[in-house]
Structure 1
Amino acid sequence: MAPTSHSASSNALLAIPLEIRRHIYGFCIPQHLTFDCCEDMYYQNRPIGWIQPLWHSNDSCDRYAGDDEYLVDELHCLHDEWKGKDKILSLENVEDIGSEDSPTGEDGSSHGMKETLGLLGFEGYDFPPPPSRMSSLPALLLLCRQINHEVETMLYEGNTFTIDIHCQGQYHFEKQFTTKNRERMRNMILVLRPIAAEPESIMDPEIWDSVLGNLVTLGVIIKQPEPPLQEWLEDNGKGTTGDFLTFFRDRKREAIGECMAWLLPIFEYLVRAVPKQTEIVVDVTEEGDTVQALEFFQKGPFRFQRLPAADSISQKVEFAWESGSRGSWYRDDDDDDDDDGPTSCRDIINDSDYDYSE
């Protein structure tokens, strides 16, 4: 039996050394990006001018399914949507529609091809852009099991995942990714929000041990706790207009202390769970005052710097430090006067940490 085009392509690709294959994969898949796991990741980090394909509007695609099931569902949606008159348009031809090499209908026009396939009449929908602007990821994953494994490993190792940890956050995370893919992640940012629940219940070791144990970098962003309105009304009644600013500063320090008392068990767990060589990066802002509650962090594997990912987080606690209070693990500001900071959690570590070894 003659080999199929897919098997021939995969055999040719597998004949190339793994290091070169990984380099090729890097041109075909998302790398060095940050994804918010609390939002639909399908729409994130798309290039300017990207148009949602027609097949993705199919309501039968379950956005809450596991990521492996989601990929299969999307491919089925594509297969089901792009067909008409007992003809099925191949994936390659779907990607070619609208390009110079796109297939044509009997009248030689792209319009005729769409009419033949029953794709006219979808007002408001645009057809996919030329192949050069499309991701080759779905087709690459379908070549063979070995290539699928290598590409998926690079996908999860080479990107940063932001997770908002709240009452149900960890369970959404568990449902969204399979255990295997969670363990593939190497770079993560946790958004912590002090809430009424006990901190020990926020991070279930059965979910997080295998994830944290494989991380290279871990970023932490802490959201401002929201005290009950009644508490603030009672506190505001204690002061007069003249000393309100003094009261507010004192109340802020008190709130930070309460926040840190809540967060301490979580950070103690993180220090135990991550590998010794893993750096925990805590988002801060450079201001004049030093938050005394940060003394705990100066004894652990922490770095304090501003995380650009925190700019989109509202009501976050803005820790600060004085230059004289930094430990030996801080970067020298004199060497980075023109540095605008990292663009992602990945930039905090050396490039050598991103070698994809087996």
Structure 2
Amino acid sequence: MRRRIFLGTAGVAIAAGCLEDDTRMTGANDENGDEREGAETAAFPPGMNEDGIDDPERLTEAHAGAIDDTVYRYDESFSVTEETGGRRSESTTLIADPESERYRYEIERDGAAGEQTTEGFVDGDESVVRRNGAVEHDESGGASVIERPTEIPPEVFEALAFEYDETRTADSTMMLAFTATGYGDVFDDERVDPVGDPTGDLLVGGNGLLYEFEGTIVLADGDDEFEHDLEWSFTDVGTATVTEPEWIDDAPEPVETYDGFLDRVDGYDGAADATGRSEVTVEVGAGPDGVRFDSIAVIVDEGTTVVWEWVDEERRHDVRAVDGTFESHLSNDAEYAFRHAFDERGVYRYLCSRHSSRMRGVVEVV
């Protein structure tokens, strides 16, 4: 079985103002291979020289710094092809505005599970995702997609060795070209072995931004060979705009978890509005497993008294405020109740000391 990795070329149009003047480069030659009169000497990006990449860590830091300072569109595709014809692939498009913390992305996958599409939109702390037509909030904040433009370069630099390609650089006065010349040392300790010669074309700006890459490697795992293809490109650098998707209106209202205090509480779907009442009852030991408050969170008026009533006779529970403002006895008596009047506005978090990770509650006084 054959496995092939392809690292490809996506045409990139780069505006002349994207790089600083003192990092302009040509390395330009005439058709006879001689340096043109008046041609500038190539000014290599941080961590690179004519022999290739001499300091990958410095280069990746420069690349990360460059994309942190501007808006851009990032396109990436990756595929693995087996000798028998089996194939899986994934493509990603990310439009990013790091300064405003706004991102929009789309991921398309094709593999054993068939074709799948995921779309996401991030605006600061708000993150939503659409899968199979359903829109929901995304607690991960799209981190795996947003961080991808920074994480890919180290993987490529470990897998491949590059050298400066003056002939391709002559085609662009704004970027330097590098070509893969062999495999990196990363495969020395791996159970897979590289096969043949890799391909890899890389275009780098003077500030270290890795604008474009395309390449293919073949790896052998025992008797099986797989071909891997990877390509990426940065476009619309400095001009990209992150717009809200039309499906954003289908997103459900976000649930208040009180700074994550209720994130791990089973059955929590939002605070119950109990305003307008002088007394509110909360059950202690509720739920199918007897380790829940019901309601888990309540919103009450200033001056309201909350009464906790024990309903579980098998397990011992208590009600203990995180800030120490109130505390009940530990009990499994179904006749037991605990009362507390909330005379000041604020958010009061409490828990059961015996089941503190799952049995939590909140009283929000408005």
Interval containing the TM-score (normalised by the shorter chain): under 0.3
Choose between structure 1 and 2: higher helix proportion.
1
TM-score by structure 2 length?
0.21
Choose between structure 1 and 2: higher strand proportion.
2
> Relative contact order (alpha carbons < 8 A, sep ≥ 6): 1 or 2 greater?
2
TM-score by structure 1 length?
0.21
Structure of larger gyration radius: 2
